[in-house]
Amino acid sequence: MTDAWTDHLSDYLDGELDQESHNGVVEHLEGCAQCRATLKGLRRIRDWASAYQPDAGNAREWRKLELRIRRRASLTVGLRVAALLLVGTGLATVVWYDSDRQGGEGMVGDTGMNPGAGSFASFEDTDYAVEIEALETLLRKRVKNLDPRTRQVLRESLESIEEMLARVREELVRNPQDDLLRELERRSNEQKLGLLRRALQRPQV
């Protein structure tokens, strides 16, 4: 047995070798008991891993999770009211400290997005997740360069949106066909995207 052959055995086991290398390994295995034993060991490891089933968890952890699930569920009624307000009246605004818009001082603005006309209307849940994660990664690198008040308002605004999203998704588990909730989820995602984008466009200090 040599390292050169050993290095091929794992790929051979998975059928990852090209035909020439595959044939070479087959030929070598016929005359090498040590490599056959190694291959048998590798197969055993792979089979163990694919069928791996450890002992169960503990009840304490489930109780914590169950509490979290039920806490979310108890917010359902309030969420319904919030959804009606948000979508029905178009008051889906996010508090946003925008010193440029306010001449250098002051509060309040919206996300700068038009929720109904954005280019993200066809985004699927996973698309939003990918886009948002990319922006969040960028923002984490740059956030320290924003002024402290902007950072604070940004953090609070994102928390508000995330809280709303979590409630909406919780409710969607129970009512997956509810158009109103779907619309609210989409708009909340758009708000979050808009907020992250605008934060990244902020002047760095």
Partner 1 sequence: MESQGEADVHAASAGDSAAFGRLYDRHVGRIRKVAQWTLGTSNVDDVVQEAFFRAWRKLHLFNGSATFSTWLNRLATNVFLRARKRSSRSRSSLVPLGEVASPPLSVVRRPDQKVDLERAVEDLPARARLVFVLHDVQGFLHREIAAQLGISVPASRSQLSRARLLLRRSFETEEEPS
Tokens of 82: 């919030």
Q: Which of 132, 134, 122 lies closest to 182 in space, CA to CA?
A: 122
Taking CB under 8 A as the criterion, the residue among 125, 147, 159, 163 binding partner 1 is 125
Taking CB under 8 A as the criterion, the residue among 54, 88, 104, 148 binding partner 1 is 54
8 A C-beta contact, residue 59 and residue 147: no
End-to-end distance of the chain based on CA atoms, in angstroms?
62
- Which residue lies nearer to partner 1 by CB, 148 or 176? 176
* 159 lines the binding site for partner 1 (CB under 8 A): no
- CA distance to 25, 113, 150, per residue, from 105 (Å): 73, 22, 11
| Residues 95, 198: Cα–Cα separation, whole Å | 13
| Residues 191, 205: Cα–Cα separation, whole Å | 25
Please report how close the Cβ of residue 139 comes to partner 1 at its closest, in angstroms: 13
Taking CB under 8 A as the criterion, the residue among 4, 18, 30, 52 binding partner 1 is 52
Taking CB under 8 A as the criterion, the residue among 4, 18, 31, 53 binding partner 1 is 53
Taking CB under 8 A as the criterion, the residue among 61, 81, 201, 204 binding partner 1 is 61
* DSSP 8-state symbol, 145: G
- Which residue lies nearer to partner 1 by CB, 42 or 200? 42
- Which residue lies nearer to partner 1 by CB, 22 or 36? 36
| Residues 166, 42: Cα–Cα separation, whole Å | 44
Which x/- pattern, by CB under 8 A, does the window 28-47 give for partner 1?
A: -----xx-xxx-xxx-xxx-
8 A C-beta contact, residue 9 and residue 32: no
Which x/- pattern, by CB under 8 A, does the window 80-119 give for partner 1?
A: ----------------------------------------
* 169 lines the binding site for partner 1 (CB under 8 A): yes
